Amino acid sequence: MSLSAARSRILHAWRATLGGVTEQPMTPEHSSGTRLDPWFGAYAERAHGMRASEIRALFAVANRPEVVSLAGGMPFIEGLPLDVIGEAMQRLIRTKGTTALQYGSGQGEESLREKILDVVALEGVEAHPDDVVVTTGSQQALDLVTRIFVDPGDVVLAEAPSYVGALGVFRSYQADVVHVEMDADGLVPAELEATLTRLESEGRPVKLLYTIPNYQNPAGVTLSLERRPQVLEICRRHGVLVVEDDPYGLLGFEGDPLPALRSYDAEGVLYLGSFSKTFAPGYRVGFVIAPHAVREKLVLASESSILSPSNASQLAVDTYLETCDWRGQIKTYREMYRDRRDALVGALSEHLPSASWNVPGGGFFVWVRLPEGLDAKSMLPRAVTGRVAYVPGTAFYYDGRGAGHMRLSFCYPTPERIREGVRRLAAVVNAEAELVQLFGTSARPDDDPTDVEIPSPDLA
C-alpha cells in the first residue's frame, strides 16, 4: 500500500470512530444517551455525564501497527520470563489449586499482603499485613477510597495536571476537583496552603488530596524530599487525608527511591500501590495501605463491589514474588525505560526544538509544551493521520486547561520507534505552526467540561 493510501485509510478509520461523538452537539441528551435507548429516562444522576471521551476513540486507530503510539501507558512486558512464569502458574494450580480457584477474603490473601510489605519497604513504608487491602488494580483502590469519602459536591485536590483515570473516578462520584499547581519539584506547598485557605473561606469541604509524588502522570515531575513533610504538615493542619498514588516509585532511573509520604505519616496517608508497572497489569493486582478504621471501610466497600479480589490473580503474584527474581525484573525495567526516555528526549531536542519539556527521573511520561498558539487536541486527528499518537493535555485537567500541552509516553515503543514517532510528530507540529502563522489559530472551543472523562485502559 502506498503511503498516501495508508494515510487515507487511517483518516477514514479515525473519522469513523470519532464521528459518533464529535459530530453530535454536547447537549445533556447526548451525554446521557439518546431517545433510541428505551432506558433513557431511568439512569441515575451520576450516570448522566458518563460518555466516552473523544480521545478514547483514538485508540482504535492508534493501536494499529503503522501508528507509533506515544499515547498509551501500557508497560513493555515482552521482556518478562514467560517460560518461568508459565511453569510457576502450573505448579500453583497443581499444589494450591483449590485455594487459587476458590472465593477468598475481601481483604486479600495474607501471604500476598505480607510480601507486599517487602516491596513497599523499598520506599521506607513500614506497616502490618493487617493494614493492607488487596484491590483489582489500584484503579479499584481509587474507586473505593472515593466511594467511602466523597459526597456529591465535596472537593478533591489534585495536581495540575493529574491522572485522567483518577479525575474520571472523582467526577463519577460527583466530586469537584480543584487543581493545585506544580513546578519542577512537584506540588508547591505554598499553593496547597493558599488553595486550602481559599476553599475553607468559601465553606467548601475538602476531603482528599490526590497526589502522585513520583514521576507523576502525566507531568513526569517528582515531589522533592524537602517538600514531602511540608505537604503532609499542611494537610494534617487542615484535616485533609492524603491519597498517595505510587505506581512508578520503584521505576526511578538514578539512585534510590525517595521515601513515600506514607513513611512519614501512617494515620494521614492512604498509600496506593500496584503490580501493573513493576510486574504486569494483566492480573489486576493493586493494594491500599490504610489506617485501621479506614481499612475496615475499604474492605466492606470492596466486598460490596466484587465480593473478593481474585484468588487466582493474588496467588499468581504471590508465587511470582516468591519464586521469581522480582527485584532483578524491576532493575531490567528501569534500564529499559531509561533508554527509552533518553531516546524520546534526544529526539525531541533534535526534531522539535520549538517545544519545551521536562526530563523525568523515572516513570513513563514526558510532558511537552507546544509552541505558542498550537492546540494539541485539535491537532490530534492530523497527528494520527501522520501515524503518530499522543494524549492531549486537556485530558489531565478538570477545568479545561492543557490545550497547549501533550503527554508523550516512552514505555511501550522501542527507542527506534520512539525516534521515528518524534520525527513524525515534528512534521505535524511544524505544519500546524505554519497554519497558525497564516490564520492566527488552529484551536477550537473546549468541550463541555462537565463530561465525565472515563479512563481508557490504554491511558493507565
Interface positions, 204-233, toward its own copies (CB under 8 A): 207
Site for its own copies in 297-316 (CB under 8 A): 297, 300-301, 303-313, 316
Amino acid at 333: Y
- Smallest gap from residue 240 Cβ to its own copies (A): 9
State the cell numbers at 419. 525516534
> Does residue 268 touch its own copies according to CB under 8 A?
yes
Q: Which is nearer to its own copies, 45 or 226 (CB)?
A: 45
Q: Which is nearer to its own copies, 375 or 458 (CB)?
A: 458
C-alpha separations of 158 from 57, 130, 193, 213, 379 in Å:
26, 28, 13, 11, 27
Region of 7-15, 122-130, 165-173, 227-235 interacting with its own copies (CB under 8 A): 165-173
| Alpha-carbon span 341 to 335, nearest angstrom | 10
| Alpha-carbon span 177 to 399, nearest angstrom | 8
Site for its own copies in 232-251 (CB under 8 A): 239, 241
| Distance spanning both ends of the chain, measured CA to CA | 33
Q: Which is nearer to its own copies, 248 or 357 (CB)?
A: 248
Site for its own copies in 143-162 (CB under 8 A): 143, 147-151, 154
| Alpha-carbon span 133 to 128, nearest angstrom | 11
Site for its own copies in 349-368 (CB under 8 A): none
Contacting residue, 19, 29, 66, 91, with its own copies by CB under 8 A: 91
Site for its own copies in 316-335 (CB under 8 A): 316
Please report where in the chains the cell 491537532 appears, as a residue: 379
Q: Which is nearer to its own copies, 227 or 284 (CB)?
A: 284
- Smallest gap from residue 171 Cβ to its own copies (A): 8
Question: 367: number of CA atoms within 13 Å, CB side?
Answer: 28
The pairing of beta strand 132-136 with beta strand 68-69: unpaired
- Smallest gap from residue 294 Cβ to its own copies (A): 6
In total, the chain counts a number of residues equal to: 460
Give the count of beta carbons closer than 10 Å to the beta carbon of residue 428. Answer: 20
Question: For residues 66 and 19, is the Cβ–Cβ distance under 8 A?
Answer: no
Q: Which is nearer to its own copies, 133 or 452 (CB)?
A: 452
- Smallest gap from residue 320 Cβ to its own copies (A): 10
Q: Which is nearer to its own copies, 7 or 48 (CB)?
A: 48
Rounded to 10°, the helix 415-439/326-351 angle is 40
- Smallest gap from residue 79 Cβ to its own copies (A): 10
Site for its own copies in 7-66 (CB under 8 A): 33-34, 36-40, 42-47, 50-52
Q: Which residues contact 171 (CB under 8 A, 6 or more apart)?
A: 49, 177, 398, 452, 453
Q: Which is nearer to its own copies, 77 or 117 (CB)?
A: 77
Region of 9-17, 381-389, 425-433, 447-455 interacting with its own copies (CB under 8 A): 447-455
| Alpha-carbon span 38 to 226, nearest angstrom | 56
